[in-house]
Structure 1
Amino acid sequence: MKFLFDLLPVILFFAVYKLAGANEDAAFQLAALWLGDGIGARQAPILLATAIAILATFGQIAWVWTRHRKVDTMLWVSLAIIVVFGGATLLFHNPTFIKWKPTALYWLFGGVLAVSALAFRRNIIRRMLEAQIRLPDAVWERLNLAWASFFLVMGALNLYVAYSFSEEAWVNFKLFGGMGLMFAFVLAQGFFLSRYLEEDPQQ
């Protein structure tokens, strides 16, 4: 359930984009009502989807705060990035900004992992996971590097799809491509780590 909750803005972005694309006249009228004049009919789906994604992220923050009185730093970062890039898309009626949003988030995460390890000798992946698993120091370093590299590659891949394919193809990739590659990476990581995991002595 938490996985789906984390993906809620992306799922709603995809759903609203598809729904608006299938109802162009209604989407155009709604976008013009919300965002004012100067909007083309072909822009309406991406603008409406962006607005809903921003609202959904605010909704996530409100829900988590109401239940736990604490919000993870990662969720605050996601909110800040989508407000900046999504807000620019809505303000200038230009989808380029929202297309850069996943890349900004991926590169931020990858950069933090890399800089923390190289400049400050702090392995963030280890700090997050060492309570659950025990690994040799060299493996922790490789794991941190793997995640940093994955995020950097995903950021570049997002831009490649955004600038090489249609807007609809990018929207599809944003949900299915990103989620599929993340799942494949985590699965491969699980196989890699399995050789280092200690067996439960009670078994």
Structure 2
Amino acid sequence: MKQLIDFIPLILFFIVFKLDPRTVEVAGHTFTLGGIFSATAVLIGASVVVYGLLLIQQRRLEKGQWLTLIACLVFGGMTLAFHSETFLKWKAPVVNWLFAVAFIGSHFIGEKPLIERMLGHAMTLPHAVWVRLNIAWILFFLVCGFANLFVAFTFQSIWVDFKVFGSLGMTLLFMLGQGIYLARHLHDNDPKKTENR
């Protein structure tokens, strides 16, 4: 569910991007609504609101949520400041690769892989299973980063569609695969059997 919350600003970005450009007046100020730059402004505003509400409700944000918010502010801000969508195209690849680096780093820093630190309170699995799950997350983030980069600079007419629906689809498929993999191990009470899978 937490991963889906991260898609709220992205979905709002998509809706505004798809609007035919129009001029709207809010509190005596005139704005253009529709297209990449107003969509970027909505993405920034929605991210601040969503993560701000989460911060108030939970009294903290996870590191991944901080990274997503900061990347949105930096890449979105540069897109608006320099009036170039190129900066925004780099946001998804960079964020995904930074997540991959964090998961890679957890193999060398600390006693547990990052995925075990995140989910270990909810389930008990053998170390080998946690390592395989962590590697799966590394590969997932690397693939997502390269897929976003490839589509953004090769198929420019559909990159926003892919950014929203492609990323969401890849995430849902990966989560489904992870659930199936975990189900195999959660029903096995013999840790030695699970170690060998």
The answer to whether TM tops 0.5 is yes
Alignment correspondent of 1:191 = 180
Structure 2 residue 162 is matched with structure 1 residue 179: no
Tell me which amino acid in the other structure corresponds to 2:12: L
Tell me which amino acid in the other structure corresponds to 1:88: M
Alignment correspondent of 1:141 = 131
Tell me which amino acid in the other structure corresponds to 2:160: V
Structure 2 residue 36 is matched with structure 1 residue 46: yes
- TM-score, with length taken from structure 1: 0.82
Q: Name stretches of at least 5 consecutive residues in structure 1 with no aligned partner.
A: 36-43
Q: Name stretches of at least 5 consecutive residues in structure 2 with no aligned partner.
A: 190-197
Tell me which amino acid in the other structure corresponds to 2:126: P
Q: CA, structure 1 residues 130+66, in 2 after alignment: closer, same or farther (shift >3 Å)?
A: closer
Q: Distance in 1 between matches of 2:171 and 2:118?
A: 18
Give the 5 Å matches for 1:96-115: 96-115=86-105
Tell me which amino acid in the other structure corresponds to 1:101: K
Q: Give the structure with the larger strand fraction.
A: 2
Which secondary structure state, in structure 1, belongs to the residue aligned with residue 121 of structure 2?
coil
Q: Distance in 2 between matches of 1:131 and 1:121?
A: 15
**Aligned-pair distance for 1:135?**
1.5
Q: Distance in 2 between matches of 1:75 and 1:87?
A: 18
Alignment correspondent of 2:147 = 157
Q: Distance in 2 between matches of 1:137 and 1:158?
A: 32
**Aligned-pair distance for 1:27?**
5.5
Tell me which amino acid in the other structure corresponds to 1:62: G
Q: Distance in 1 between matches of 2:39 and 2:151?
A: 18
Q: Give the structure with the larger helix fraction.
A: 1
**Aligned-pair distance for 1:146?**
0.6
Q: Tell me the percent identity.
A: 41
**Aligned-pair distance for 1:199?**
6.2
Say whether the 8 Å CA contact 1:27–1:45 is kept in structure 2.
Answer: no
